[in-house]
Structure 1
Amino acid sequence: MTASDADLIVVHQIWAKVDPYTENEAFKCSNADVFKWKHLGNILAEKFGFEENVGYVEMMKGK
């Protein structure tokens, strides 16, 4: 999964609107921060004091 910073998107959108050379052009805006939910889940669990995520493979072991 990728994510983009809102400030980056705003600057990009303003540039695309005011620059005369961007008329009728399509652009993709991403700063390409890549993360996996299994890593983000552990970070959120630590931040908010929840039990860490147990992966699906771990959860299904022995079943």
Structure 2
Amino acid sequence: MTRAQLPAALKHAGRKRGIETEADRVRDIFRADWAHQPPLVEDALGKQMLALLTQLGAAYIAADQLAEAVE
């Protein structure tokens, strides 16, 4: 993920505070030598992570909509 994509993904997942700090922390983890896999594996895992973040974002939206419906 790029530097700009991380904060956007965190916001989309529902994070509201400390986004830049968390994005930097996650970026450092992803760039650590021990965290690397072969390029094809890393690409597949990145796509899987984006799919999971999309699902998490959808869950947040559904929860918000349910809360509004209950009100």
- Fold similarity call, TM over 0.5: no
TM-score (structure 1 length as normaliser): 0.31
Which fold has the larger relative contact order, with Cα–Cα distance below 8 Å and residues 6 or more apart in sequence?
2
Answer 1 or 2: which has greater strand percent: 1
